[in-house]
Amino acid sequence: MVSKHLQTIQLITPGQAPALSALCRRIYPQYFTYLWFDEGAWYIEHSYNEATLRAELKDPNVQYFFTLLNDQPAGYLKVKLSSNLNNEAGGFEIERIYFLREVAGQGLGTYLIEYAFEIARQLNKRYVWLNVMDSSTNSIAFYHRHGFEPVGETWLGYKLMKPEYRRMWQMQRKIV
């Protein structure tokens, strides 16, 4: 487990889009190339280019945070401050919790998810929700340990994604 004094969380600004893009381009291939016919090349360019990330960082409903380990970005959290699931009001979405494979198992995922819960509480949200690939059994187990329960499913329509990996579970946790 990482010592709390060695890790911090930092809100990412639009000016940090190049650093976020570089981190995303390092992390994504470490985990998700198996989903794609092109090993994720299209998705990485589509989702993690600087212009796309800068636009998201300017969206007042979206926040990104670096988790810094020894003052270096080791992962990130992306949330949507207001995002309702199945038309149920009061939702807060965790869209991504990603970190470098070399720091896996050090508690960074728990650190980030607890931070997201705190933001949701401060915003008086009723629940936190997320989508998780049904093939990501470790992620599903992680979310279960943090109080999430499956409440539905959705399918990704990306043409370059292998059809057997397009299903995602929708998971939700009430905020009390």
Query: Is the domain 4-174 a CATH 3.40.630.30 member?
Result: yes
Q: What is the mean pLDDT of the chain?
A: 94
pLDDT tens-digit series, residues 125-159: 999 999 999 999 999 999 999 999 999 999 999 99
Q: What integer pLDDT is reported at residue 87 of this predicted model? A: 87
Residue 126: Cβ within 10 Å count:
15
**CA-based R_g, the chain, Å:** 16
Any idea what the Cα angle at residue 42 is, between residues 38 and 47, rounded to 5°? 140
Q: What integer pLDDT is reported at residue 152 of this predicted model? A: 96
Domain boundary assignment for the chain: 4-174
Nearest to 90 by CA among 101, 81, 99, 98: 81
Q: What integer pLDDT is reported at residue 5 of this predicted model? A: 43
Q: Do the Cβ atoms of 91 and 84 come closer than 8 Å?
A: yes
The pTM (predicted TM-score) of the whole model is: 0.93
Pairing between strand 91-99 and 72-80? antiparallel
b vs e for 43-79, b when ≥16 Cβ sit within 10 Å of the residue's Cβ? bbeebbeeeebbebbeeeebbbbbbebeeebbbbbbb
Instruction: Summarize the confidence of residues 30-59 as an average pLDDT.
Output: 97
Instruction: Summarize the confidence of residues 68-95 as an average pLDDT.
Output: 95
Strands of the sheet with 62-69, listed across from one edge: 7-11, 62-69, 72-80, 91-99, 127-133, 167-174, 149-155
pLDDT tens-digit series, residues 2-41: 444 456 999 999 999 999 999 999 999 999 999 999 999 9
32 Cβ contact partners less than 8 Å away, ≥ 6 residues apart = 40, 43, 133
Q: What integer pLDDT is reported at residue 6 of this predicted model? A: 56
